[in-house]
Amino acid sequence: MTWESWYKIGLSALPTMFTILGLWLYWGENPLPALAPNLGFWGVVIAFYLFTHIYLPNKRSPFYLTVCTACLWLVSSITSRNLARFLASDEYTGALSVLRSKDFWYSYVMSTLALVIPLSQFIRHEPRIVAESERVGKSAGEEG
């Protein structure tokens, strides 16, 4: 595993960090509705990175991974909006009331899946991506 690869996918986690720092620590708002879609979108970015850097002959799995991750992110985003409406309502009484909300569970389960599945595939395929990048870099250096 190289630091450069982790740096490339780590940059896309900045919106998640800004959500935590900005909403929760600076403004004192509840970050729950905004955090789940950011986590899911981080998974979409990782899936897109894999889609653009992995070539598997006669397989469409990177494409399907990207589409499925985007669908999980979409469900997470929609249910996060409903979660935000719940937090603004009179039904919200604290952490336990959030845990009883189906929107919380849909939002966070879908966003966790949208992040964990591409991240596990990244860990699996990262050595192949680095080896291919080094091979292309060496052949480009020989031509120049």
For the chain, the straight-line distance linking the first and the last C-alpha, in angstroms and rounded, comes to: 28
In this structure, the number of other CB atoms found within 10 A of the CB of residue 50 comes to 23
| Structural domain contains residue 144 | no
| C-alpha closest to that of 78 among 106, 56, 57, 101 | 106
pLDDT at 144 over 60: no
Which residue range is the domain that position 57 belongs to? 3-137
Q: How many domains does the chain have?
A: 1
C-beta separation of 66 from 114 below 8 A: no
Question: What pTM does this model have?
Answer: 0.82
Strand, helix or coil for residue 4: helix
| Structural domain contains residue 84 | yes
| Structural domain contains residue 40 | yes
pLDDT tens-digit readout, 55-110: 777 778 888 899 999 999 999 999 999 999 999 999 999 889 999 999 999 999 99
| Structural domain contains residue 30 | yes
| Structural domain contains residue 142 | no
| Structural domain contains residue 94 | yes
| Structural domain contains residue 143 | no
The tokens describing 59, both together, are: 């397989």
